[in-house]
Amino acid sequence: MVYIFLLGTLGVIISLIWFVLTLIKKKDKKKPKMFLISSLILTVIGVFSIGTDSASESKSNNSSSSSEIIENKSSISSTQTSYNRYEETSQPTSKTRESSVADQQKDNYDEVNSLIKEHLTDSQGWATGKLDGDGNPTENGTPDENQAWALYVHDLKYTGDEIAVYTDAGFSDLPNAEKDSIANTCQSVVSAYLGPEENWEPEDYRKGLFLTVYNGEDPLGHSKVLNMKEYKWY
């Protein structure tokens, strides 16, 4: 402690003065020597105490600073964790958004395909004379040759990637020109329902969509890459 150091230092000064006086007066030097030694011991103890106190204070301050740093880090970590959890729960992930968009598109295509199916059924009825001009069943109807294309098609739909036309076996025996005509009619039917749903421009209707004709699972032909309304038949 400081006061021990000061007391020891004062004792050393007094001891030295006393010792000098004993030398001058030629008296016994034993007592000044003992007092000097005791004072030196006190001084050393005082110096050691001051160093120990400083070290303890420094250690205490460092410990306090370390605790504050740990608390700050803990607080930051807790805040970051909370934010991350908020982000995870409040913001949709890219996969969720993609899935949502895909589901919405599927619903839209299901609706469009339902209308296409209805159109195909009506065309088949007009082609055989089983429906009148208003789409009502009739036994005395006149077959409409302009709807004869539908008699070769038993299913027609848009998959999201292409127009899929499913035909019967008789389609393969038709001339390529008639196959082209049926394929383009299918293009027109699908475009009539899909175009408004996807806000097509006039250019989109002109270009058309990639189309593949199937007999069961076997492809019979498809659109050419550079012109969707020209076809390659196998």
Residue 195 vs residues 15, 29, 108, 156, 157: alpha-carbon distances, Å? 113, 122, 12, 16, 14
Residues 59 and 150 in one domain: no
Per-residue b or e along 103-133, where b marks 16 or more CB atoms closer than 10 Å to that residue's CB: eeeeeebeebbeebeebbeebbbbbeeebee
Region 96-103: what's the mean pLDDT? Answer: 52
Residues 174 and 222 in one domain: yes
Residues 61 and 143 in one domain: no
Per-residue model confidence as pLDDT tens digits over 191-206: 999 999 999 999 999 9
Residues 154 and 117 in one domain: yes
The overall average pLDDT reported for the chain is 80
Q: Indicate the residue among 90, 115, 148 that finishes a domain.
A: 90
Residues 149 and 60 in one domain: no
pLDDT of residue 10: 76
Per-residue model confidence as pLDDT tens digits over 179-194: 999 999 999 999 999 9
Residues 99 and 207 in one domain: yes
Dihedral angle sign, alpha carbons of residues 66, 67, 72, 75: positive
Residues 115 and 60 in one domain: no
pLDDT of residue 134: 84
CA atoms within 13 A on the CB side of 228: 18
Residues 128 and 214 in one domain: yes
Residues 216 and 116 in one domain: yes
Q: Indicate the residue among 68, 90, 112 that finishes a domain.
A: 90
pTM above 0.85, yes or no: no
Q: Are 55 and 7 in contact (CB under 8 A)?
A: no
